Structure 1
């Protein structure tokens, strides 16, 4: 009897060491839920309907918060798992890619968790849209600025090909005698176009 008295089990409560275990946490959560439901029913029977409705809404909010927390914890686990997999894959710059993947997963699961909780859905949608738009603009700028020289060379080759095709067509027309000889101004191949 002294062992059960020292742990606090005889009174139906858990000791601090027992509360820290997963089974202890689930037991405490179930105990709180049973007391909460009993309190809601008692308030309804006593005629305190508004308070019972408020308690029911608080219970629903607590459930949404708990589910949002579970979603975020799963996201944390998946983000760490993805980062570890990328670091061990042997790709170039593994730390940068692992951090980017981890951040992307955390942002996505964080938005999912906040949406589940019901915190300003419109703000979350707007922020997510702005983030994706910013990423698209950054990628377009990086591609545009980084590929400027390549695009210039490609454009120059297209213009030269167009001019040489036009000159060949005019030469064929001249040989047939269909048109008078026009003056063709094409830049020499070694000089870049303006």
Structure 2
């Protein structure tokens, strides 16, 4: 029979049974150690307040890390079981994987330790800064200066504490990434964090500049609103009719000055941040705003002079034709001057003014030439007779003479 070719080897059976027994014992030990490590690691991590947070799977951070530790223990246990059973071909890839994990594990632990200690230090420093600033009543003094109305944040001390926390956390993150030793991951991430860390001082300086500019602008607004009404500027402008009812010149000047100051500090802030395009745009806005403001001042001054000239010419009679003509002529002249100062439209205001003056001159010349030619002829004959020394005979008008149909104008024109 076929079974007669095989013989029972007691020694081989004993060795195989011993290996199976040891493998079962290793399997049970691996299961117990993995369960215990998972439970202990989860409890240990969840006991720290810093790590009390959830994950994407819905488990806590401690439970997730405990599961990772448990799976690593299972890998080691399976490797031991395969070595016991002398299955080297199957154990080779697992052994290589575990060698890489074991080689990387110290760097991972050191990186985690650096990050953990750094975050703890950052939190302590943040709480220390916030407590110190709140003790010094920084929030109250900042809110008096108008910080809460600008930023909408009434607790500026907490914002400063968060900034300090970030300033500490970024170098700690860079050190932790460098400790991992994975250049393909740590090098780009570290470079990005270094760029952020290098930009933070410029961002803080820009924010401080904008804050100083806003405080200065508020101070200037308050001074202008106190000085100009005291000098009678608002009353004089209201009487001249240049501003509408309910509007004050001091308020307009104060707001314009505030916008100009903030825009100036915004340009300085963009230069600190290194945004040349934005800086150029703000420079152009500031230049254009200055020209527009100066042009508006010229036009307003023209309205004032026009009203004064109209009153001087009209006198006590009130409104008169001559005063109205002078008033509107002055207004038109200063309006075109103001538009020329603003630079809006290029040469269009100057050309339009030239065309307008030429049109008025031609219209006046035509009106005088056609309507006063008889008067001009008499004046020319009188001048000729004065120069010749003899009196020119004065023609007697014919009575009852009817106007000819060929005359260009009616009689008496």
Normalised to the residue count of structure 2, the TM-score between the two structures is 0.32
Q: Distance in 2 between matches of 1:55 and 1:145?
A: 57
> What secondary structure, in the 3-state scheme, does the structure 2 residue paired with 1:88 have?
helix
Residue 11 (1) aligns with residue 146 (2) = yes
Q: Distance in 2 between matches of 1:124 and 1:101?
A: 20
Greater Cα radius of gyration, structure 1 or 2 = 2
Count of residue correspondences: 151
Q: Distance in 1 between matches of 2:376 and 2:301?
A: 45
1:155, distance to aligned residue in structure 2 (A): 8.3
Give the aligned partner of residue 324 of structure 2: 99
Post-superposition CA distance 1:102-144 (Å, at most 9, x none): 1110011000100011012321122111111111111211221
Give the aligned partner of residue 287 of structure 2: 60
Structure 1: stretches of 5+ with no match in the other structure: 1-7, 158-188
Q: Distance in 1 between matches of 2:381 and 2:313?
A: 41
Q: Distance in 1 between matches of 2:144 and 2:315?
A: 47
CA gap of 1:113–1:149, structure 2 versus 1, over 3 A, is: same
Q: Distance in 1 between matches of 2:351 and 2:332?
A: 14
Post-superposition CA distance 1:146-181 (Å, at most 9, x none): 222245667899xxxxxxxxxxxxxxxxxxxxxxxx
Give the aligned partner of residue 73 of structure 1: 300
Structure 1 residue aligned with 2:337, among 99, 112, 126?
A: 112
Give the aligned partner of residue 123 of structure 1: 348
Q: Distance in 2 between matches of 1:135 and 1:68?
A: 25
Structure 2 residue aligned with 1:48, among 275, 282, 298?
A: 275
Q: Distance in 1 between matches of 2:377 and 2:275?
A: 77
Give the aligned partner of residue 265 of structure 2: 38
Q: Distance in 2 between matches of 1:20 and 1:144?
A: 56
Give the aligned partner of residue 180 of structure 2: none
Q: Distance in 1 between matches of 2:257 and 2:376?
A: 65
CA gap of 1:125–1:34, structure 2 versus 1, over 3 A, is: closer
CA gap of 1:151–1:102, structure 2 versus 1, over 3 A, is: closer
Post-superposition CA distance 1:82-103 (Å, at most 9, x none): 000011177xx96111110011
CA gap of 1:25–1:156, structure 2 versus 1, over 3 A, is: closer
CA gap of 1:58–1:149, structure 2 versus 1, over 3 A, is: same
Post-superposition CA distance 1:35-89 (Å, at most 9, x none): 3222212211222101001101101111111101110111010000000001117
Q: Is contact 1:19–1:28 with CA below 8 Å preserved after alignment?
A: no
CA gap of 1:70–1:138, structure 2 versus 1, over 3 A, is: same
Q: Is contact 2:267–2:279 with CA below 8 Å preserved after alignment?
A: yes
Q: Is contact 1:43–1:52 with CA below 8 Å preserved after alignment?
A: yes
Q: Distance in 2 between matches of 1:62 and 1:39?
A: 14
Q: Is contact 2:336–2:349 with CA below 8 Å preserved after alignment?
A: yes
CA gap of 1:44–1:154, structure 2 versus 1, over 3 A, is: closer
Give the aligned partner of residue 41 of structure 2: none
